[in-house]
């Protein structure tokens, strides 16, 4: 496939959309979604093309809050392999302070979680991209409003 041929090349990320996540009238983080040039955003979860979501925080957040939020949006039924990967990613979360940024990135068939450019988690499980990016972009995202702004352009 085309994306496999780009495995050695660095992805030229193009912003797709951005928005602010709010909770109880407080801005929590700025979210920005990126895709390579020419890749339709409508297939973001289902294709094998690169995808990147940056979340830069305005507030301090503890790992248990990340896990709680993700669990609200993740599918209730996951295969044992997907459940194990979700639990492994959740165990890798660290507390953030204002101006820290988490990046969820899918590239070269690997999903990664980074904190301030440092890789904390990697998964080569094919379905993991769709499941975890689905927290923000899936059928039942954390915020319909944020999903709409991320996919707005």
C-alpha torsion 90→106→78→84, nearest 10? -40
Question: Whose structure tokens read 């301030």?
Answer: 116
Share of the chain above pLDDT 70, in %: 91
Encode pLDDT of 17-50 as tens digits: 999 999 888 999 999 999 988 776 667 777 788 9
Encode pLDDT of 104-126 as tens digits: 999 999 999 999 999 999 999 98
Q: Going from the N-terminus, what domains does the chain have, and what CATH number goes with each? A: 2-150 (3.50.70.10)
Q: What residue ranges in the chain does DSSP mark as E strands? A: 13-23, 26-36, 51-57, 101-107, 110-115, 118-123
Backbone φ, ψ for residue 141 (5° rounding): -75, 170
Q: What is the mean pLDDT of residues 58-82?
A: 94
For residue 39, what pLDDT is reported? 75
Backbone φ, ψ for residue 74 (5° rounding): -70, 150
CA distance 66 to 51: 20
Inform me whether the pLDDT recorded for 102 exceeds 60: yes
Inform me whether the pLDDT recorded for 69 exceeds 50: yes
């Amino acid at each position: 496939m085309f994306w496999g041929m780009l495995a050695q090349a660095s992805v030229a990320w193009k912003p797709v959309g951005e928005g602010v996540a709010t909770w109880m009238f407080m801005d929590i983080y700025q979210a920005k979604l990126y895709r390579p040039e020419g890749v339709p955003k409508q297939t973001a979860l289902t294709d094998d093309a690169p995808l990147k979501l940056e979340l830069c925080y305005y507030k301090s957040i503890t790992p248990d809050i990340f896990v709680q939020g993700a669990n609200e949006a993740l599918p209730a039924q996951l295969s044992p392999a997907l459940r194990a990967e979700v639990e492994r990613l959740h165990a890798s979360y660290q507390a953030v302070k204002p101006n820290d940024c988490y990046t969820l990135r899918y590239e070269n068939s690997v999903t990664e979680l980074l904190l301030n450019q440092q890789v904390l988690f990697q998964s080569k499980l094919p379905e993991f991209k769709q499941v975890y990016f689905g927290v923000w972009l899936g059928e039942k995202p954390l915020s319909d409003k944020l999903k709409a702004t991320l996919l707005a352009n």
